[in-house]
Structure 1
């Protein structure tokens, strides 16, 4: 009782503010994550349904990236729910944190490989449709796994969220830069080849078709990759210059709660909106993707709509009288005599 009298009122206010921030962060995370999961699931279903439209490797790389975000979202909900239920097992928390980070860092080289696949498709557009470079696919996922393990090993013991070390920051900056440069180069190269082959008599229909498909695929993957890299850069820059990570840190909040509440809330909201923009950029602005959604909605509402009685066409004679079909011959002549 006597010790409580000497507790700093500012510390109590900081505790209350940080407790409120923690609770609001959990609510915000749950709401945004549920919406994001729904959109990513919808996008994954459409990509699988439209898998024959694109090259199998493009579908695999894009599908893996979408599955990565779905898995991270599900694990984040599990982690938040466990914290809310006060499940504080150290081994459980460490394992969950390691899995989330492994998937997060695994998606980064997959991002780069997705752009490289489109670059390869652009260079070999004449016969790429029939190619299946499985060695490239296996190598991409192997390098992605090794990259993720190496980054996690560089972070420390992996028991608590930590800031990016300098080597990790440099690798992430480099991978984001490579991915963006390749993406824009692929767009420019596809446009150049499309213009060149449109007036070429010797250009085959297959070549022009492949270039058109390349542009369609790039329009799908470029916004996704750009926003994905933007999220990575946001994590890096906020950790480096604002000293705030995307994970809520109670000790940092208590140290300077006035600044931390404002900065963390802004960063968390921006990050959630960026993740939300990834599936929306594809679902809303790409005809190859949103047309199946429109068809699905039309089919759904058509099934739920009550069946209406079909409108019957009416036929009238020269006097303007309605002709009734299905009458007998006597009834027809009787009606005709009555009219005259």
Structure 2
């Protein structure tokens, strides 16, 4: 529940970073961050209290409301990811500032980490709804069905699947973090046998290979065009 509201906070933060990439690098929104934390806690407590309202708690309306909110957040984050990729391709070779291009690249990296985490959290909610609808087993153990062997198997299997999905969130976070990924790869290369003569593939934030000859020639052509345009502007002045 608290994760859902933090996801909304991350969505608003990514909207600001996407709409103002040139100014976002120099901003320090610490006040916004510290204000959002108690707001998320209060809203989480309020949503938890709604579970005790008879109409809202009936028919899993509480769970469905959270699921709809998470689907809305994921959809907007995917739209922001596509928007940042489009803006990155659009500013390529147009002489934009390094700070603007850096912020667009950071936006894409951040969204690549955030979206799978929120998707995994939403999968837990979907899984809980499905298990309760089809098997009648909630995440809380029912002591009155303790002697029911099929229920015990269903509950243990559901808890195991739920644990795997939850455990995938920190694993993905560690794997997606650039510094941690470099650290793990470095240790793997030291402990394992690295293939001799294997070429290292260098990719940009869009996933394109920038190490091959064609990409190098394209990059050189872009720099030459920018250089010529700059000289023409200086001569006209």
Q: Using the alignment, how far apart are the partners of 2:48 and 2:169 within structure 1?
A: 25
Check if 1:123 corresponds to 2:19.
yes
Q: Which runs of 5+ in 1 are unaligned?
A: 1-104, 158-162, 302-340
Q: Secondary structure at the match of 1:233?
A: helix
Distance 1:164 1:123, change over 3 A: farther
Q: Using the alignment, how far apart are the partners of 1:135 and 1:173 within structure 2?
A: 29
Match of 2:44 in 1: 148
Q: Using the alignment, how far apart are the partners of 1:253 and 1:182 within structure 2?
A: 43
Equivalent pairs counted in the alignment come to 187
Match of 2:141 in 1: 248
- 1:275-319 deviation line (CA, Å, top 9, x unaligned): 111122233355443113456x59xx9xxxxxxxxxxxxxxxxxx
- 1:96-146 deviation line (CA, Å, top 9, x unaligned): xxxxxxxxx222201221232122211111110112334532442233112
Match of 2:168 in 1: 277
Match of 2:121 in 1: 228
Q: Using the alignment, how far apart are the partners of 2:173 and 2:13 within structure 1?
A: 19
Give the structure with higher Rg (CA): 1
- 1:233-287 deviation line (CA, Å, top 9, x unaligned): 2223323443211122221344xx2441332222111101101111222333554
Distance 1:116 1:165, change over 3 A: farther
Match of 1:191 in 2: 85
Match of 1:114 in 2: 10
TM-score (norm 1): 0.49
Match of 1:38 in 2: none
- 1:136-194 deviation line (CA, Å, top 9, x unaligned): 3244223311221112223349xxxxx88644223211221122112211211111111
Query: Of residues 26, 29, 40 in structure 2, which corresponds to 1:133?
Result: 29
TM-score (norm 2): 0.68
Match of 2:212 in 1: none
Distance 1:283 1:214, change over 3 A: same
Note if contact 1:119-1:182 (Cα within 8 Å) is conserved in structure 2.
no
Match of 2:158 in 1: 267
Query: Of residues 71, 84, 105 in structure 2, which corresponds to 1:177?
Result: 71
Note if contact 1:154-1:165 (Cα within 8 Å) is conserved in structure 2.
no
Q: Using the alignment, how far apart are the partners of 1:283 and 1:123 within structure 2?
A: 28
Provide the aligned C-alpha RMSD in A. 2.8
Q: Secondary structure at the match of 1:248?
A: coil
Q: Using the alignment, how far apart are the partners of 1:143 and 1:186 within structure 2?
A: 24
Q: Which runs of 5+ in 2 are unaligned?
A: 192-237
Note if contact 1:283-1:290 (Cα within 8 Å) is conserved in structure 2.
yes
Note if contact 1:125-1:207 (Cα within 8 Å) is conserved in structure 2.
yes
